[in-house]
Amino acid sequence: MDPQQAQTAKTFDGYKDSYSDAVDAAVAFTGLKTDFFTRVKADYIGDLVATHFGPAAQLSALDVGCGVGNYHALLKPRFRQLSGVDVSSACVDTARERNAGVDYKVYDGSALPYADATFDLAFTICVMHHVPPVQWPTFAQEMRRVLKPGGLALVFEHNPRNPLTMRAVNTCPFDEDAVLLRSEQTEKLYRDAGFSAVRSSFILSVPAANGFLRGVDRLFSGLPFGAQYYVAATA
């Protein structure tokens, strides 16, 4: 494992039981908690998957950088098969304890431990800013490799243009060495990896707690106001 990835794994090993507490402390000034942001992004994933594949599709999905599996209780019912992979073995152990029926693996942060064209969907949520920038192209290429033709990649990331986002990142202990990506950087990485129909949208311009508010949030999706953004790309 790359030394920087090894350090990242060690850092997150230390948060296997307190990840949500650390995030809650960093975003306390918003009046919101980790569970809120988790639900919003899980619902966005559901919307994007339904638009791409249809609402009744029986899909296999991979969470790259799954951590302690915070999203999986919400996402597992939406997929035929859900898998998660992470560099932190301690976090993977916690995820297994929390989420029966999800397949978890530890990996080295480079080659995903799956065969080509295994999954319909691969998603990664606020992970790339922990990956060494020199490895960003490989990260995107590996997501494409494990996707079936026509599969969907989703990348959620912090928006470095948003000052409140930067306040949260700067006070979160495990984001100390984070290198944030602008949406256009992430789009280029996925185009260069061979994806098509690459597009981005800013989210969390408003607290999008339900379908109506997600609709309002989408009205601002082309403006760089949102606390986060997603990039969607077709394999």
Q: Please say if the pLDDT value at position 9 is more than 90.
A: no
Closest residue by Cα to residue 139 from 96, 88, 193? 193
Residues in contact with 33: Cβ distance below 8 Å, sequence separation at least 6, in sequence order: 20, 24, 27
Task: Please tell me the pTM assigned to this model.
Answer: 0.93
Q: Please say if the pLDDT value at position 122 is more than 90.
A: yes
For residues 111 and 139, is the Cβ–Cβ distance under 8 A?
Answer: no
Which range has the worst mean pLDDT, 36-45, 52-61, 72-81, 124-133? 52-61
pLDDT, tens digit, for every residue of 61-109? Answer: 999 999 999 999 999 999 999 999 999 999 999 999 999 999 999 999 9
The per-residue b/e assignment along 6-21, b for 16 or more CB within 10 angstroms, e otherwise, is: eebbebbbebbeebee
How high is the pLDDT of residue 50? 95
Average pLDDT over residues 29-46: 90
| Dist CA 25 CA 19 (whole Å) | 10
User: Six-digit token pair at 124?
Assistant: 């990664």
- Domains of the chain, first to last: 3-234 (3.40.50.150)
| Dist CA 200 CA 221 (whole Å) | 8
- Count the helix, strand and coil residues of the chain and give each as a percent rounded to the nearest 5: 45, 20, 35
Average pLDDT over residues 123-148: 97
Q: How far is CA 58 from CA 44, 118, 150, 232, in A?
A: 18, 14, 15, 19
Average pLDDT over residues 141-147: 98
| Dist CA 59 CA 79 (whole Å) | 5
**What is the sign of the dihedral through the CA atoms of 199, 137, 84 and 166?**
negative
